[in-house]
A and B are shown apart, each in its own frame.
Chain A
Amino acid sequence: MSEKNLFHKGDEVSRRQFMIGAAHSYLGVSVLPMLGATVATSDTFGAAPPMRPRTAKSVIFLNMSGGMSHLDTFDPKPENQDVQGPTPVIDTSADNVQISGFLPKTAAVMKHITLFRGMRSNQGAHEQGQYLLHRSYAPRGTIVHPALGAWVMRLSGRRNTTIPGFVAIGGSSENATGGFMGAKYGGVPLGNANAGLKDSKRAHSVSKAEFDHRLSLADKMNSDFHGRFKQKQIKTYHGLYDEAIKLMTSEDLKAFDIKNEDSKVRDFYGNNGFGQGCLLARRLVEHQVRFVEVNLGGWDTHSDNFVSVEARCQILDQALAGLISDLERRGMLDHTLVALGTEFGRTPDINDNTGRDHFPRAFSSLMAGGGVKGGFVYGETDRKAHTVKEGIVTPGMFNATIGHALGLPTERVVTSPSGRPFTIGDEAKPVKEIFA
C-alpha cells in the first residue's frame, strides 16, 4: 500500500521528474515527449460540437514579455505628439492601417494580419500579467492553472504522435506548464532554438545492444510493477518509455535541428534567438506540432523607451514578417495561426526618464493566418491611447479565440482534481468577427 500512496501524494511535477530521472538512469535518455496521445483525453467529443471546420491546425504564439508599448508598435497616435513622442508612423499594405515606423517589414505583411487594439488586462505586474496572458486566470495560491498549450493538448491531442505536441522556446518554463492537468499535457521547454532537442539520442556510451538490454530489464521491472498496481497513472508512465523510444528513432527529430536550414533562410528570420526560435517554430509546425510558443523579452522600457523599443522592434520586425512570409510562400499560413501577445501595454504619458510604465488598461496584440481576416483592426483606443473605446479583448477572450480557430470546444469545462470547473478562456467568448 505504501507505494501506491506515494504516487497519489506526489504532485504531477515531482512524478514527472521522478520518471525523467528513472528513464535517464536506466535508458540514457533525458528528454521525454509529453503524453498527449497515449493518455487519452476523455472529453474531446462535443458538448456542443463546433459547427464549422477548424481554420487552423497549429498555433505559433509569440510572447512579448515585459509589456510591449502599444503606441510605439501597433497603435500609434501621430496626431498627438505628446503621447507619441519621437516614434515615426508609417502606412502599411492594408488600407487605412498605420503602425510604428519601427516595423517596416511588418507593415508590408499587414494585409495578412488582424490587429487587436482593444486589449485590456486587470494585472499590472509582470508575473501576474504573464500568468493571466498564458492561462486566462489570475494566479491563486491554491491551484496552478494550465498554460494555453496544455489546454490545446487536452482538448485536441497531438497531430503527430511521435514528437511533442507542445513546445515552448525561450522564456520561462512556466509558460509550458500543464498546471492541474498534469505534466502529460505540459510542453517541452527549449532554452535556445539553436540547441535543438537535447539528449534525445542514445548516449554514445550506450550501445544499441546495451540499450535494448536495459530496456528489456526495465520492461521486466515494469511488468511486475504494473501487475501489482493497476493504476491509471502508473500505466501512463509506461507510455513515457515507449514515447521516448519512438522519438529517439523518429524521422521527425530532424525538425528540431535548424542547422539543416539554408543560411539564407536563417537570415530571413534574423540571426538572433527570437528569429531562430520563429524558424524552429515553422519547422515544428511543418512536422505537425500543434502549439509552439516563442519568447521575446526586453519590453520593460521604464527608461529610454524609444531607443529600447526601436531595438526590440528590429528583432521582432524581421522575425514576424519573415515568419508570416515564409509560412505564406510554403502554403502554410492558411492553416497556421500566428498570435502575438503581451502582458500589458505602456503608459501613453512619457515619464521623466523618457520611459513608459506598465499600462494594462489598453494595449495591442495581433493574429495572422489560420483563417483570420487580413488587414483588419478589431478594437480602438481613444485619441491618446489611454483607454479602450470599443472592442475590449481580455486575455481570456484572446485565448478563447485561438481555441476557436483550432475548432476546439471553448465552452468545455475541465474539472481540476480539487473539483473546480475551468474553461480555456475563463468562460470568455471567442472574438468571431476576426475570422474571414
Chain B
Amino acid sequence: MVMMINKFICPVLFLLVATVSPGQGVDFKKQIAPILSSKCNSCHTAKKKESDKKPKAGLALNTSGGIRAGRVIEPGDASSSELFIRVSLPKTDEELMPPTDDGGPLSAKEIALIKKWIDDGARFGSGSGGDIGKIAADLDVAKVMAMPMREPNADAVAHLEGLGATISQLAVNLPQQLVVEWISTYHKTTDKEIEQILHIAPNVVEVDLSRTKVTDEGLKHIGKLARLTHLNLSRTQITDKGLEHLSGLRSLQHLNLYGTGVSNAALPTLAKHRKLKALYTWQTKITADGLSKLRKALPDAKLVLETDAKSNRYDNLDNPDNKFDF
C-alpha cells in the first residue's frame, strides 16, 4: 500500500519543485488572479447587481475583498488554507475544487503557485514583497479627506497585518471602509507600528488602540485619519495634550477615553467634535461638573462617567434600597 501511495505522491512533489523556484515572489495580479478567473470565477463571483446569480457557497473569488471575507486563506500557511487544501485534494475526493466535471483539478504548476503565494503571505499586490511607498511627510487631515475612497492597497493592508493589526471591513459589501484593531498584540504595539496605519489613511473608519503603548505623540498619526468615526483609546497613557492632535477629526462619533489620564482641561478640545454621539470617561480625571459643562456644547451626546449613578441619581448598584428618582 505504501508503494502505491508513493507512486502517486512522487510525481506531484517533483512538479512542485520543478515549476516554482523558491527565490521569486508570486505576483497576485499576474499569476494568481488569472488562475482564479479562468478556473474559479464562473461559479465564485460576487453579485454586482440584484439580478446576478449568487456566488457558489457564498464565496466570491473575483476580488481581494471576497477572498479575504471568505476566510479561505491563512496567510503564510498554505497547508491550513481552505483554498489550497481544496485544490490539492486527490482527484477522487469529492471535496476537490474545481470539481472534475468543471475543469478540475488545477495543473500542478497552478497548485504550486497558489501554495507559494499563500506561504509567502498571500499578498494581493505585486510579488515584490509589497512596495507600498513612503508615507508623505506632509500628509495631513485635509489631504486625507481629499483622497478618494477606493478599495485599499492590498499590500498596505498586508503590511499592517504583519505588524499585528487586525483589519476587517465594516460590512461585507463595504470593502473600502476598514476597522483596524490591535487585539492580541496590544502589549507590543507602539507609535511606530501605529504610524503605519497612514498607508491606508483614507479607508480607516474605526480604530481600537485600547491597552496599546500609544502616546500623545502617536495620536498625531491618528489625527490624520479624516474619516474616523470610532476611536478607542481606553487604558492607554494618553493625556489632554494628545487629544489636541485629534481636533481635525470632524466625523468622530464615538470616543472611548476610559482609564486614561485625560482631565477637565481637555473639555474645550473635546467640545470641538460636534458629531460626537458617545464619550466614555470612566476612571479619568474628568469630573461630573466638567461633563455637565461639556453637555452645553454637545447637547445630544451620551456622556458616560460612571455607571449611570451620578448623572441620573438612581443607579446605585451597591445599595438597591436607594429610592429611584426618575
Contacts and interface: CB of A to CB of B under 8 A. Distances in A.
B192 interface: no
Interface string B37-74: 00000000011000000110111100000100111111
A160 B168 CA distance: 12
Sorted from nearest, which 6 A-B pairs have the closest CB atoms? A40-B82, A331-B280, A331-B256, A325-B307, A43-B58, A49-B173
19 contacts: A1-B1, A37-B71, A42-B82, A44-B172, A45-B172, A46-B55, A46-B172, A49-B171, A51-B173, A53-B170, A93-B315, A104-B320, A108-B315, A111-B308, A230-B88, A231-B93, A232-B86, A330-B234, A407-B171
A46 to B, nearest CB: 5
B79 interface: yes
Given A44-B59, A268-B317, 16 more contacts: A1-B1, A38-B80, A41-B71, A42-B86, A44-B70, A45-B46, A45-B58, A93-B326, A108-B308, A108-B314, A232-B93, A288-B183, A318-B317, A325-B315, A329-B280, A329-B304
A328 B312 CA distance: 14
A91 interface: yes
Contact of A44 (B71, B171, B177): B71
A188 B95 CA distance: 28
B299 interface: no
B74 A40 contact: yes
**Which size bracket describes the interface of B in this complex?**
35 or more
A105 B59 CA distance: 46
B58 A93 contact: no
Contact of A288 (B46, B47, B181, B282): B181
B320 A51 contact: no
B124 interface: no
Interface residues of A, number: 63
Interface of A is mostly: loop
A329 B172 contact: no
Contacts of A109: 308, 315
Given A108-B308, A328-B307, A238 B173 contact: no
Contact of B72 (A40, A93, A407): A40
Interface string A234-263: 011011001000000011100000000000
Interface in B178-219: 181, 183-187
B258 interface: yes
Interface in A100-147: 104-105, 107-109, 111
A39 interface: yes
A232 B282 CA distance: 49
Interface centre among A39, A91, A108, A159 (most CB of B within 10 A): A108
Nearest to B324: A108
A19 B77 CA distance: 21
Interface in B1-59: 1-2, 5, 9, 46-47, 54-55, 57-59
Contacts of B170: 53
B212 to A, nearest CB: 12
Nearest to B54: A47
B301 interface: no
Interface string B283-326: 00000000000000000000011111000101101101000101
